[in-house]
C-alpha cells in the first residue's frame, strides 16, 4: 500500500484554505476517534495558524508537523510547539492507540500481549 520510506498522512488542516483532510485509508477508525482528530487539527490551525499535519513514519510512530508560509505574520511557531506538546501529554492514550492500530493494520505487526492486559484494566505484569 505504502512504500517503506513514505510518510503516511493520517489527517491535517490548513488555516489558509480552511480545510480539513482525513486519509480515507483510516476510515475504519471509530467515528469518535475521527471526530477527535478533526477537532485537534482544526483547533490547532484556528489557534496557531499555518498547516498542521499528523502522519506516521516508517516505524509506525505518529509525528506532528506544522508549517507556515513566509508571509504569515499571524503564525505562532512557539504556540504551535506548545500545543503539540500539550496534545502529546493530554491525548497520550489516543495517540498510542493510533500507533498500535497503524502498526497492526498497516505494517502487519503482531498485537503486543500487554495491549490485551491494559484493555482488561490490568498492567502487563498482571497486577
pLDDT tens string 12-60: 999 999 999 999 999 999 999 999 999 999 999 999 999 999 999 999 9
> Does residue 2 form part of some domain?
no
Q: What's the whole-number mean pLDDT along residues 95-123?
A: 81
Domain count, the chain: 1
> Does residue 104 form part of some domain?
yes
What are 108's three cell numbers?
502487519
Share of the chain above pLDDT 70, in %: 87
Q: Quickly state the pLDDT bin for 125 (edges 50, 70, 90).
A: low
> Does residue 24 form part of some domain?
yes
Q: How far apart are CA 39 and CA 65, in angstroms?
A: 16
Q: Indicate the average pLDDT of the chain.
A: 90
What is the extent of the structural domain holding 49? 8-119
Report pTM: 0.85
> Does residue 127 form part of some domain?
no
- With DSSP H G I counted as helix, E B as strand and the rest as coil, what are the percentages for the chain, rounded to 5? 45, 20, 40
Q: What's the whole-number mean pLDDT along residues 95-107?
A: 95
Q: What is the DSSP string of 15-58?
A: TTTTEEEE-GGGTTS-HHHHHHHHHHHHHHHHHT-SEEEEEE-T
Amino acid at each position: 500500500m505504502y512504500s517503506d520510506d513514505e510518510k503516511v498522512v493520517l489527517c491535517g488542516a490548513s488555516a489558509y484554505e480552511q480545510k480539513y483532510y482525513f486519509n480515507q485509508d483510516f476510515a475504519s477508525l471509530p467515528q469518535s476517534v475521527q471526530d477527535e482528530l478533526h477537532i485537534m487539527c482544526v483547533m490547532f490551525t484556528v489557534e496557531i495558524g499555518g498547516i498542521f499535519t499528523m502522519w506516521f513514519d516508517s516505524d509506525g510512530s505518529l509525528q506532528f508537523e506544522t508549517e507556515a508560509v513566509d508571509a504569515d505574520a499571524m503564525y505562532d511557531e512557539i504556540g504551535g510547539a506548545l500545543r503539540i506538546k500539550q496534545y502529546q501529554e493530554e491525548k497520550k492514550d489516543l495517540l498510542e492507540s493510533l500507533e498500535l492500530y497503524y502498526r497492526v493494520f498497516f505494517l502487519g505487526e503482531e498485537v503486543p500481549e500487554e495491549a490485551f492486559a491494559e484493555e482488561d484494566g490490568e498492567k502487563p505484569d498482571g497486577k
